[in-house]
Structure 1
Amino acid sequence: MSNAEDAPRPGPGQDPSFDPAGEAKRLLRAIRTAALGTLNEDGAPFVTLTAVATDHDGSPILLMSRLAAHTRNLERDPRLSLLLPEIGGGDPLAHPRLTLIATAERSAEPSLKARYLRRNPKAALYADFPDFSFWRTRVLKVHLNGGFARAADFGPQALLTPLDDAQGLIAAEEETLARLDAECAEALALLAKKAGGAGKTRWRASGLDPEGLDLCAGDACARVVFPERVTTPESLRATLAAMTKNAAGEA
């Protein structure tokens, strides 16, 4: 797919300030409960609810039991759709939601398990049961409905995060997140509040990538977007220090 084909294609008459790719990235990283659609043996659609996390590049990660109908569906046909809706008050159709068309396959990659369990810690109770396995999705198409007159269709390159230059950052993720949780609770709370994560005080870092930091507090999640791409632990520290200083000044 070319870059031109992959770029967001907003509909006519939409707000020129609307950033479809940015909004899609935010929903992808901030929402951890999705509707999962698979295909039954007779080809009929089958939809269920699932918890979700993301790999470093944004590819959704699922944890599923072989006893579940949707797992057996994917074993037979790897095609799926995920709907990640933002929940809020008022008209539910006025809130943004992200639809992904994708395929999925099992993966024993340790980093997938680590990122999923940091995002969904209660899943540690059953993640090692023999019938459970982790699945990594491959996004093929993206549809964003950002609310009234805010919609776009695009390909995966506009949604996912390139990683080629960020291996140092990724390799240091476990150590970095542990340090943030142990030493930077106040800073994480400030950053979460600025990112829209109001009403919680104890936030923990659940994942990082070159474009942002994922935070969780109980069932709430927040996505902290970096002002510029971060590829090393050193640049991450400098970026977070500057962002925390700015957030403190605005508090």
Structure 2
Amino acid sequence: MANDAMPPAQQRRGPAEPLPASEAPFDAIGLARHLLRSVRSGALATIDAIDGTPFASLVTLATDSDGTPLMLLSRLSAHTRNLDKDPRASLLFSVGGKGDPLVHPRLTVTGRAARSEEPRIRERFLARHPKAKLYADFPDFGFFTLAPAAGHLNGGFAKAATLTSAELLLDLTGAEALVAGERGAVEHMNADHADALALYAAGAGEPGTGWRLTGLDPEGLDLMAGERTARVLYPEPVRDMGSLRKSLVAMAAAARAGSGTDAPPPHPEA
């Protein structure tokens, strides 16, 4: 079509350039955050420490409370040696699926990697990858974060957008108590409310049983059953444990009403 028939934002950037997420005609921020929270492995691209050649490898992934990507890496791996020399890196989050792989959404996050000794980082990663407990404490392994600088989202055919760090991550201001109480709430929900977790997962399009809560944040819940994951959003963001309790009770009630079950409402503990 003629240039003057294009949307103003596209006229400024050219037909092949992705729009900023805030101008995209779809929920680019929501989709990008969903990929961050639901993908458990992806491609890590680093810069070769010897000759600067791009080097890609497969790593397992989790997220911190705000969505910062987390990794558990061995010092014996080439990508770790590369990061020790140059922390610049990118991660590819892709869900995959049947048919043409290019029609499925994927997200590339660029930033700088850094080692972390923060206990919460360890807890959240191992909750997402329980088998990693077998080697997480080996002396040659360490936890890393990737502080996002930018994101590039391809949501499928004709769906592309760029994202800022602020659009990728959650602002945790005012949610400190929620972050501090996360582990207790997770343990309580897993011990006493497996039925409610199954209802939440089914409501997010992931039916079945065996779901466990691996983490929570101001925007939603991270669930896992075997190798399956489910990201469940609250009706509204929460900033404290009281709001979380009310939201989970309301979500369970709505799910029970929709499914015809009579499971008791959850009461997560701080």
TM-score by length of 1: 0.93
RMSD: 1.3
Q: How many residues of Structure 1 are paired with residues of Structure 2 in the alignment?
A: 240
1:208 equivalenced with 2:216 (yes/no): yes
Following the alignment from structure 1 to structure 2, what is the Cα–Cα distance between the partners of residues 9 and 36?
27
Corresponding residue of 2:12? none
Question: What code does the residue aligned with 1:237 have?
Answer: R
Matched residue type, 1:74: L
CA distance in 1, matches of 2:253, 2:105: 30
2:117 matches 1:108: yes
Q: Is structure 2 residue 132 aligned with structure 1 residue 119?
A: no
User: In terms of Rg, which structure is larger?
Assistant: 2
Match of 1:25 in 2: 33
Contact 2:20 2:161 in 1 (8 A): no
| Residue number in structure 1 paired with 2:149 | 140
Larger deviation: 65-74 or 187-196? 187-196
Task: State the match for 2:14 in structure 1.
Answer: none
Instruction: Give the counterpart of 2:93 among 70, 84, 100.
Output: 84
Q: Which of residues 122, 128, 137 is equivalent to 1:128?
A: 137
Q: CA deviation at 1:31?
A: 0.7
Whole-Å separation in 2 of the counterparts to 1:125 and 1:10: 45
Question: Partner amino acid for 2:47?
Answer: L
Structure 1: tracts of 5 or more residues without a match: 1-5
Q: Name the SS of the counterpart of 1:146 in structure 2.
A: strand
Separation in structure 1 between the aligned mates of residue 205 and residue 102 of structure 2, nearest angstrom: 20
* Counterpart in the other structure of 2:21: 8
Aligned residue in 2 for 1:3: none
Kindly state the Cα deviation for residue 7 of structure 1 after the two structures are TM-superposed. 5.5
Q: Tell me, which stretches of 5 or more residues in structure 2 are unaligned?
A: 1-18, 260-270
Identity %: 50
TM superposition score normalised by structure 2: 0.86
Q: Residues of 2 paired with 1:184 and 1:108: CA distance?
A: 31
Would you say the 8 A contact 1:211–1:225 is kept in 2? yes
Q: Which fold has the larger relative contact order, with Cα–Cα distance below 8 Å and residues 6 or more apart in sequence?
A: 1
2:63–2:124 CA contact under 8 A, matched in 1: yes
Consecutive aligned runs of 4 or more in structure 1 exceeding 2 Å deviation: 248-251
Q: Aligned pair 1:197/2:197, yes or no?
A: no
